[in-house]
Amino acid sequence: MDFSILASEFASLTFDGIVVGAIYALVALGYTLVYGVLRLINFAHSEIFMIGTMTCYGVTLALGISTSADPLTLTSFSLVFLLIVLTASLASGASAVVLEFVAYRRLRLMRASRLSSLISAIGASFFLTELFRILTESRNIAFPRLVDKEPLFVFSSAYITFDKLLVLIGAAVLFFLLNRVINHSKLGLGIRAVSQDETTAVLMGVNVSKVVSLTFLVGGFLAGAGSAFYMVFYETTKANVGFLVGISAFTAAVLGGIGNVRGALLGSFTLGLIQQYSSAVLGYNWRDVVTFVILVLVLLVKPTGLLGEALQRARV
């Protein structure tokens, strides 16, 4: 127990908490969207994120950027980063669609029990983790430093660096785009309709299979973009990177109210802050225990989360 760090580093912890929360939010949205249409937790979503981080690394390999290279200039960084975000999003989005097709579709059409779908998803999750563990030979993969991390300016104890600002701005843009998609597009209408009442949606002419596929695509897209920000911020990945990010993002989604898009954002930032503060007080190695305890407490005390369950009532 050490509250002195919390007091002296408060601004720094708060800023980092918001940055981490933004990354969690991009992953948490995938959980929430899929939960909305399927009423199921997508256990393999964390592996979709992991595939994104691996793709980011693959892109730097293909571009020939080594880990010892100097950070790029702003113009070349913008181009490289744009390429990384797009490739990672596409890779994660495509994997999510394949995942839905392989692990969920048949069971959904057969109206199998929840237990079957859960076990199928867990199997897929383990298969993917293990596949990448074998491919990477259990190594920690180092990601090259793409951008200078010297602080742009200092606010109290918080060092405002370019990569952290990038995460915040990028996440804000994506949230805005998601908002447009959910509320002002035909796909968004379909997602909201299926979330409200699948049977009626079918009667109204919604192609549920297509909507479910596209929901996985959107969720995978966001997770892929999140993985690009994660890589620029943390600069490392490994085959089981998805596990803890996934648990944190899932906790965030539940904390905000699963199925609720606004809730996922609120929950993510709240959880990011709690993790930073508690790490400062209890020590970093208790961070994941704190996350689990929050998850358990939320589920026991208020399982509908801060803003309530259900996508349909939230207006993003």
Partner 1 sequence: MSNFVFNPRDRFGDWWDQATILQRSIFRVIVVGVLFALPLINNPIIDTPETSFESVLFYPLVMFAIMAVGLNVVVGKSGILDLGYVAFFAIGAYTQAIFGLYTNLNFWLVLLLGMGFAMLAGTLLGVPALRLRGDYLAIITLGFGEIVRIIAVNTEAIGGAAGLTGIPSPPPIFGVEFSVEDVRPYYWLSLTILLIFLWGIIRLSHRKPGRAWEAIREDEDVAAFMGVQTFKYKLWAFVIGGAIGGAAGVIYASQILSIEPKMFELNLSIMILACVVFGGMGNIWGVIFGAVLLGYLPEKLRFLTDYRILIFGLLMVVMMNLRPNGLIPRKKREVILEKS
| Shorter beta-carbon distance to partner 1: residue 60 or 270 | 270
Q: Which of 155, 286, 302, 313 contacts partner 1 by CB under 8 A?
A: 286
Task: For residue 45, give the nearest of 191, 220, 214 by alpha carbon.
Answer: 220
- In the region spanning residues 35 to 74, those forming contacts with partner 1, defined by CB under 8 A, are 40-41, 43
**Does residue 102 bind partner 1 (CB under 8 A)?**
yes
Residue 306 contacts partner 1 per CB under 8 A: no
| 299 in contact with partner 1 (CB under 8 A) | yes
Looking up tokens 């950070």, which residue turns up? 71
Q: Which is nearer to partner 1, 1 or 203 (CB)?
A: 1
Rounded to a whole number of angstroms, the minimum distance from the CB of residue 223 to partner 1 is 18
Q: Are 273 and 21 in contact (CB under 8 A)?
A: yes
Asked whether position 106 contacts partner 1 by CB under 8 A, the answer is yes
Q: Cβ contacts of residue 104 below 8 Å, gap of 6+?
A: 38, 40, 117, 120, 121, 212
Q: Distance (Å, rounded) from C-alpha 292 to C-alpha 286? A: 10
Q: Is 125 in the site for partner 1 (CB under 8 A)?
A: yes
Q: According to CB under 8 A, which one of 119, 181, 281, 306 is a site residue for partner 1?
A: 119
Q: How far is the CB of 289 from partner 1 (least distance, A)?
A: 5
Question: Least Å distance between CB 24 and partner 1?
Answer: 16
- Residue 109 interacts with partner 1 (CB under 8 A): yes or no: no
> Does residue 1 interact with partner 1 by CB under 8 A?
no
How far is the C-alpha of 251 from the C-alpha of 266, rounded, in Å? Answer: 12
Told to check if 98 binds partner 1 by CB under 8 A, we report no
**What are the residues facing 158 on neighbouring strands?**
155
CB contact burial 279-290 (16+ within 10 A = b; e otherwise)? bbbeeeeebeeb
142 interacts with partner 1 by CB under 8 A: no
Binding segment (CB under 8 A) for partner 1, from list 17-25, 103-111, 140-148, 149-157: 103-111
Please give the full DSSP string across 223-277, using - where no structure is assigned.
HHHHHHHHHHHH-EE-TTHHHHHHHHHHHHHHHH-TT-HHHHHHHHHHHHHHHHH
208 binds partner 1 (CB under 8 A): no
Residue 36 near residue 110 (C-beta atoms within 8 A): no
State which residue, 116 or 200, has the beta carbon closest to partner 1.
116
9 binds partner 1 (CB under 8 A): no
The answer to whether the Cα torsion of 127, 129, 130, 135 is positive or negative is positive
Compare residues 179 and 240 and give the one whose CB is closer to partner 1: 240
Strand pairing partners for 153? 160
By CB under 8 A, what part of segment 247-276 binds partner 1? 247, 250, 254
Supply φ then ψ for residue 158, to 5 degrees.
-90, 125
* Residues at the contact surface with partner 1, assessed by CB under 8 A: 40-41, 43, 102-103, 106-107, 112-120, 122-131, 134, 243, 247, 250, 254, 285-286, 288-289, 292-293, 295-296, 299-300, 303
